[in-house]
Amino acid sequence: MHLLISPAKTLDMNFDSPMSKVTNSPFNEESNLLINELKKLSATEIQNLMSVSSKIAELNAERFANWSLPFNEANSKAAVFAFKGDVYTGLEAESLSNTDLEFAQNHLSILSGLYGLLRPMDLMQAYRLEMGTKFANKSGKNLYEFWGNKITDEINKREKDYIINLASNEYFKAVNKKALNAEIINPVFKDEKNGTLKIISFYAKKARGMMTRFIIQNRIKNVEEIKNFNLGGYAFSENLSNTKEWIFTR
């Protein structure tokens, strides 16, 4: 099985993560093509494109200007340690063992607007480019058209049976589901509030990270064992689930 998660807007690029077994994304050349187009944008144009504050726009204009190949220990960081946010709070990558990370490297990928698909130990430089950004480029009017089937083809190289989709709709939309050579399972996390089960974004994102950690640490390869997930008080609901959507409640 293979896990897919989303990236995060918040980054920590302090260069203190383990660098001995880092790898490179298969799409660094494609990322370079996007960066060359992004470098042409002014901070004001970035602000309008991404609907962000002027401060964030200026930060990312600087990031794009400084982005360069090749990646090395001085200018980049392993992706699983660089991203910070609710999913990565649940994942707690810093406390994973070396053997955990080795398993993750073969069973986990991070979808990315700039990098396409990142393994945990793939190096990355700081950026902000959400997959849903309507950034016109030489390959089309947005990033979905830029990536086309490249992400899907790469996933197919890594996986032959099940995809556990723990990514957001925005990012999983970049995957051509009909072209995947695997069955897709979508875990959904719901919390009871005022007597009703609801998806609460903050908790659901953290739960996606916790489930990722659960699968990694337990070396799960039999998809049915995912139903044993019980971190954070969640439990699998047989009654609410179907073959494609597995519901976990608390």
Judgement on whether residues 219 and 242 belong to the same structural domain of the protein: yes
Asked whether residue 17 carries a pLDDT value surpassing 70, the answer given is no
Asked whether residue 8 carries a pLDDT value surpassing 80, the answer given is yes
Judgement on whether residues 82 and 101 belong to the same structural domain of the protein: yes
The mean pLDDT value for 16-40 works out to 89
Judgement on whether residues 87 and 193 belong to the same structural domain of the protein: yes
Mean per-residue pLDDT over the chain, rounded: 95
Give percent of the chain above pLDDT 90. Answer: 92
pLDDT value of position 158: 86
Q: Could you give the number of structural domains in the chain?
A: 2
Judgement on whether residues 83 and 53 belong to the same structural domain of the protein: no
Judgement on whether residues 117 and 209 belong to the same structural domain of the protein: yes
pLDDT value of position 107: 96
Tell me, yes or no, whether 133 lies in a domain: no
C-alpha 79/C-alpha 6 separation (Å) is: 11
Tell me, yes or no, whether 134 lies in a domain: no
pLDDT value of position 20: 66
Judgement on whether residues 58 and 146 belong to the same structural domain of the protein: no
Asked whether residue 220 carries a pLDDT value surpassing 60, the answer given is yes
Tell me, yes or no, whether 136 lies in a domain: no
Tell me, yes or no, whether 221 lies in a domain: yes
Asked whether residue 203 carries a pLDDT value surpassing 80, the answer given is yes
Q: Kindly report, residue by residue over 94-116, the tens digit of the pLDDT.
A: 999 999 999 999 999 999 999 99
Asked whether residue 159 carries a pLDDT value surpassing 90, the answer given is no
Judgement on whether residues 80 and 194 belong to the same structural domain of the protein: yes
Tell me, yes or no, whether 228 lies in a domain: yes
Tell me, yes or no, whether 135 lies in a domain: no
Judgement on whether residues 97 and 195 belong to the same structural domain of the protein: yes
pLDDT value of position 175: 97
C-alpha 137/C-alpha 31 separation (Å) is: 12
Judgement on whether residues 220 and 245 belong to the same structural domain of the protein: yes
Q: Kindly report, residue by residue over 52-86, the tens digit of the pLDDT.
A: 999 999 999 999 999 999 998 789 999 999 999 99
Judgement on whether residues 213 and 190 belong to the same structural domain of the protein: yes
Tell me, yes or no, whether 44 lies in a domain: yes
Judgement on whether residues 16 and 29 belong to the same structural domain of the protein: no
Judgement on whether residues 198 and 239 belong to the same structural domain of the protein: yes
Distances (CA, A) of 24 to 31, 76, 108, 218, 224: 12, 11, 15, 26, 32
Pairing of strands 83-84, 10-11: antiparallel
Asked whether residue 40 carries a pLDDT value surpassing 80, the answer given is yes
Buried b (16+ CB within 10 A) or exposed e, 84-108: ebbbbebbebeebeeebbebbbebb
pLDDT value of position 162: 96
Q: Which domain holds residue 50?
A: 25-70
Give percent of the chain above pLDDT 70. Answer: 98
